[in-house]
């Protein structure tokens, strides 16, 4: 759709807005619009309504993973008020725990028989995106530190990896919520979403790895070296994002190519038991980190 500029007095210009767009957004004379420059583009949008967006849903079953998926995706989609029908108190308890461990600033504000309202009460402002994304990275770094200690049987005075995992998911869900609500980085929103997804998938491999480690777990020097390569790749990606450094991404690709195909596969064939499972998760972690370099390249260039 194209529009011609119309010169006005004083050196300004105006354009005609499409009638259909004006009607769909319930606009009329005197309404204010939001204008934002993005490179050579000028983005025109109607100002958001003060009314909170809401959705009505019914919890699907008694499986925690199913309930978590539907609730967190409603949160990510930008809804500020979630009206929920549930079957019994067991479902409601699962819901409460998900709200506590996955949703920043949301609380149950009303509860009746088989129905409750979950609403945005103290959520951080959307301009806190960068701070909370940085917290997500910092907690993944901490998960790497905890994992190394547990792999080397140093279980004294280390934080519970489950608590770290909960914080990571809180920050991840909030960042995705901001991307949806603000279309962060405008035309690069999809790349940003994909980048965060790959990073989260990589750290999930560490989480599952920690679930099988105990004080009797023994690993070889080669497996510990594989872990160090994963940690190095993550640090390079974090630095690449922070400093907009493409060279770091090529280093990650070299690590993945030289580690997985030249070391990890043969190592997996020579080990058994828990160590073999650990090698599998580390290999998957490194592969996901490598996959994150593609959308991150798109964000940097």
Residue pointed to by tokens 């993945």: 256
pTM above 0.85, yes or no: no
Q: What is the chain's mean pLDDT, rounded?
A: 89
Write the pLDDT tens digit of every residue in 225-260. 999 999 999 999 999 999 999 999 999 999 999 999
Write the pLDDT tens digit of every residue in 12-34. 788 888 888 777 777 777 777 87
pLDDT at residue 206 above 70? Answer: yes
Rounded CA separation 1/142 (Å):
49
- Provide the 8-state DSSP code for 184: T
Q: What is the mean pLDDT of residues 108-127?
A: 92
Exposure of 279 in the CB half-sphere (CA atoms within 13 A)? 24
Give the rounded percent of residues in the chain with a pLDDT score beyond 70.
93
Q: Which one, of 174, 158, 163, 175, lies nearest residue 101 by Cα? A: 163
Q: Provide the b/e sequence for 134-162 (b: ≥16 CB within 10 Å).
A: ebbbebbbbbbebbeebbeeeeeeeeebe
Task: Mark out the alpha helices in 152-260 (DSSP H runs).
Answer: 161-182, 189-212, 221-243, 246-259
More confident residue, 41 or 286: 286
State residue 188's pLDDT score: 82
Write the pLDDT tens digit of every residue in 75-93. 999 999 999 999 999 999 9
């Amino acid at each position: 759709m194209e529009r011609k500029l119309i010169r006005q007095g004083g050196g300004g210009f105006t354009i005609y807005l499409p009638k259909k767009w004006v009607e769909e957004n319930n606009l009329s004379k005197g309404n204010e619009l939001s204008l934002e420059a993005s490179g050579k583009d000028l983005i025109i949008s109607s100002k958001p309504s003060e009314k909170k967006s809401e959705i009505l849903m019914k919890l699907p079953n008694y499986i925690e993973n199913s309930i978590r998926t539907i609730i967190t995706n409603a949160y990510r989609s930008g809804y500020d008020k979630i009206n929920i029908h549930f079957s019994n108190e067991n479902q409601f308890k699962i819901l409460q725990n998900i709200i506590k461990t996955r949703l920043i600033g949301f609380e149950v504000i009303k509860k009746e028989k088989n129905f409750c309202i979950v609403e945005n009460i103290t959520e951080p402002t959307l301009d806190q995106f960068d701070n909370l994304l940085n917290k997500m990275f910092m907690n993944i770094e901490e998960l790497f530190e905890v994992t190394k200690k547990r792999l080397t049987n140093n279980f004294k005075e280390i934080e519970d990896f489950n608590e770290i995992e909960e914080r990571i998911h809180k920050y991840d869900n909030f960042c995705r919520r901001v991307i949806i609500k603000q279309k962060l980085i405008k035309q690069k929103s999809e790349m940003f979403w994909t980048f965060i997804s790959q990073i989260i998938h990589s750290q999930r491999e560490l989480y599952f790895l920690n679930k099988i480690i105990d004080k009797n777990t023994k690993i070889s020097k080669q497996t510990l070296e594989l872990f160090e390569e994963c940690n190095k790749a993550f640090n390079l990606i974090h630095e690449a994002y922070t400093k907009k450094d493409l060279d770091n991404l090529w280093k990650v690709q070299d690590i993945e190519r030289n580690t997985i195909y030249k070391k990890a596969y043969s190592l997996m064939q020579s080990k058994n038991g828990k160590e073999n499972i650990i090698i599998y998760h580390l290999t998957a972690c490194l592969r996901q980190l490598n996959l994150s370099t593609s959308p991150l390249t798109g964000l940097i260039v």
